[in-house]
Structure 1
Amino acid sequence: MANPGQPTVQQGDTGEAVKRVQRALRRTPDLAVAVDGIFGPATRAAVVGFQQGAGLTPDGIVGPLTWAALPDGGPMPVLQQGDSGAVVSSLQTVLTNGADQWGGITPQGIDGDFGPHTRAAVEAFQGWAGVTVDGIVGDQTWSVSLHAAGATLESAVGLQYVES
């Protein structure tokens, strides 16, 4: 199961379980869902829409059946200078391939090491996307739409890196 042991959540709830629902809904993909940890009317509407499409009772409450039908809502790893590994390599590939859109700044290689050049490429990407420019790839940066058929940075890098 992609979302084991999650509590039932509904409109009015807040916190990490709500963020997990919101990330999962974004991965359906419903890019209109904000990952803010607040289960308000917009999140409820997205849940109802998902439930209708999945053949579930459209009550806007995320209980065991809805959790089981949703994709994994775990967060992507937070990446910053000093990190390394396959997820950094995938990030560098996306940043290199799309660099012409955000000013031509690339990581200057795909080596799996998040160094100063990768940070500069992330900052250029963040500036292009209109999110906080801090060189750190967290929820806000992962959620950026790449303007390509429902793709986000996280889906382009690969959802196999989701932390369960």
Structure 2
Amino acid sequence: MSNPGQPTIRIGDSGSVVLRAQRALRRTPNLGVELDGKFGPHTESAVKDFQADSRLEVDGVVGPHTWHALPDGGPMPLLKEGADGDVVHDLQRVLSEGKDDWGTLPGPIDGKFGPKTRASVEAFQRWGHVEVDGVVGDHTWAVPLHAMNATLETAVGLKYV
């Protein structure tokens, strides 16, 4: 099970467990799901669509069967200056491939999140209309890459969840 031990949630709920469900729904992929941690009408509608597509009982409630059918809703890593490793390497690769869209290269693709990678992330955040802080968190991972029908997180790879 990709979302073990999660409580049943429904419209009106909020918090980190709702954010986990919203991330999972975006990975179905339903790029229209907003990552705000609030289980409102839009999240309920996305849950119902997922349940119908998965041949589950369509009630808009995320209970054990829906949690089991959803992809992993865990967060991608939080990346900022000083981070390193394979996920940074893959982020740099995706940022390099989109340089024509956001205009700033991340520097060498070396798996080290330095000032040039930060500048590229900031350019990407401006392009994606999210908070520009140079940190790759939930909202930056969720930016749609329009031409590829993907998000930054799916382009980098969900293996880091």
Q: Same fold (TM over 0.5)?
A: yes
- Report the Cα distance in structure 2 between the residues aligned to 1:122 and 1:156, rounded to whole angstroms: 15
Q: How does 1:141-156 map to 2 (within 5 A)?
A: 141-156=140-155
Query: Which residue does 2:27 correspond to in 1?
Result: 27
Identity of aligned residues (%): 63
Structure 1 counterpart of 2:79, which letter?
Answer: L
Extract unaligned runs of 5+ from structure 2.
none
- Report the Cα distance in structure 2 between the residues aligned to 1:21 and 1:133, rounded to whole angstroms: 25
Query: Which residue does 2:74 correspond to in 1?
Result: 74
Query: Which residue does 1:48 correspond to in 2?
Result: 48
Extract unaligned runs of 5+ from structure 1.
none
- Report the Cα distance in structure 2 between the residues aligned to 1:80 and 1:11, rounded to whole angstroms: 33
Q: How does 1:1-164 map to 2 (within 5 A)?
A: 1-103=1-103, 105-162=104-161
- Give 1:41 shift: 0.5
- Looking at secondary structure, tell me which structure has more helix per residue: 2
- Report the Cα distance in structure 2 between the residues aligned to 1:75 and 1:118, rounded to whole angstroms: 21
* Deviation string, structure 1 residues 11-56 (Cα, Å, up to 9, x no partner): 0101111000000000001011001110001000000000000000
Aligned residue pairs: how many? 161
- Report the Cα distance in structure 1 between the residues aligned to 2:115 and 2:14, rounded to whole angstroms: 36
RMSD, aligned CA: 0.7
- Report the Cα distance in structure 1 between the residues aligned to 2:101 and 2:148, rounded to whole angstroms: 16
SS in structure 1 at match of 2:147: coil
- Give 1:130 shift: 1.1
- Report the Cα distance in structure 1 between the residues aligned to 2:148 and 2:52, rounded to whole angstroms: 22
- Give 1:149 shift: 4.5
Structure 2 counterpart of 1:46, which letter?
Answer: A
- Give 1:110 shift: 0.6
Contact 1:29–1:150 (Cα < 8 Å) also in 2: no
Provide the TM-score with structure 2 as the length reference. Answer: 0.98
Provide the TM-score with structure 1 as the length reference. Answer: 0.96
